[in-house]
Amino acid sequence: MSQLTFAEAEYAIKKRTTRREKFLARLEELIPWQKLMQQLSKGYQKTGPGRPPYPLETMLRIHVMQLVYNLSDPEMEDYLYEVESMRRFAHLRLCESIPDETTILNFRHYIEAHKFGKKIFDTINQHLADKGLKLREGTIVDATIIAAPTSTKNADGERDPEMHQVKKGNEWHHGMKMHIGVDDGLGLIHSIATTAANEHDITQVDKLLHGEEERVWADAGFQGIDKREEHKTRDVDWFIAMRPGKRAKLSKSDPLAQAEKIKASVRAKVEHAFFYIKRVFHYSKVRYRGLEKNTNRLYVLAGLANLLRVKSCLLP
């Protein structure tokens, strides 16, 4: 075994466990690494000319950290040099070779080229199902806007053509929408669709239902969904929230008001999913141009959000 570096020796005797260490330790236990490795090994070059590639697991661990902390490629490289807890999570040592930003970029392109984001998401959900955390008979559907830059100061001199603006309330927002279907029992994301921000939420519901639902929950923006052609033969109970203006006229003792309160309490589970993606993982603004790359990233974040959502069921 090689000798400890000064950074490793000082790290070993420190007196406090940081929040980053606790979070990474939690991810270490939650993520089904071996199952993901089996899915992602296709096409990964183990041999070839020039410098040997880094192990797939090391690069996957770096990719996970880059996404959960929302770091650019140069920032991720800097963190690997500066933060011992992140090196340990990636199974790296400071006295050995550290992946540079180009290597980190190339691995992300490898994930994107093979559309492994959805495969990671599906593998995590299957892992949760194997643990007994299966989908039930109800789905909550909702969408959130993820902002995109409005500036035209770039190489093309124009905004991203796949992003659009939409008015929400009294404010205009420019970007994309993430539409999700969430299990109404566990609050786990099981379906994702992405569109430009100006696409109406109701048009994507058919992509968000797994087909075995007995009930569907949604906010008032989905009024009339049961009358749409793609849902006419769907045998489900639609629990769609009442329009705010109409609900405001109800007294608190009115049975309809009580029913609306129950609907709201169920729909609240979908906000937990958005909380992890936009607040914990800080992905409230797109990092790439185009929907495809951002969708690939959102699939991975959704899978990680699901793991954190049920961590109390998975961890001892």
pLDDT computed for residue 315 by the predictor: 87
| Residue 1 domain flag | no
Q: Are residues 144 and 48 in the same domain?
A: no
Angle at CA of residue 237, ends 233 and 238, nearest 5°: 95
In a domain, 128, yes or no: no
Q: Are 44 and 144 part of one and the same domain?
A: no
- Of 53, 85, 114, the one marking the end of a domain is 114
Q: Could you list the residue range(s) of the whole structural domain that residue 20 is in?
A: 6-114
Residues 167 and 307 in one domain: yes
Is residue 175 a contact partner of residue 198, using CB atoms and an 8 Å limit? no
* Residue 126 domain-assigned (yes or no): no
- Residue 131: what residue type? K
- 316: three-class secondary structure by DSSP: coil
Q: Is residue 130 included in any domain, yes or no? A: no
Residue whose C-alpha is closest to residue 240's, from 213, 258, 267, 214: 267
Residue 61 and residue 178 in one domain: no
Number of domain units in the chain: 2
Same structural domain, 109 and 142? no
Residue 48, pLDDT score? 46
Q: Tell me, yes or no, whether 159 lies in a domain.
A: yes
pLDDT along the chain (316 residues), means of 10: 67 81 96 95 64 89 97 97 94 91 94 95 96 88 95 82 91 96 95 97 95 94 93 93 90 91 94 96 95 97 97 89
Tell me what pLDDT residue 4 has: 67
In a domain, 129, yes or no: no
Q: Is the pTM of this model over 0.75?
A: yes
Same domain? For 302 and 167 the reply is yes
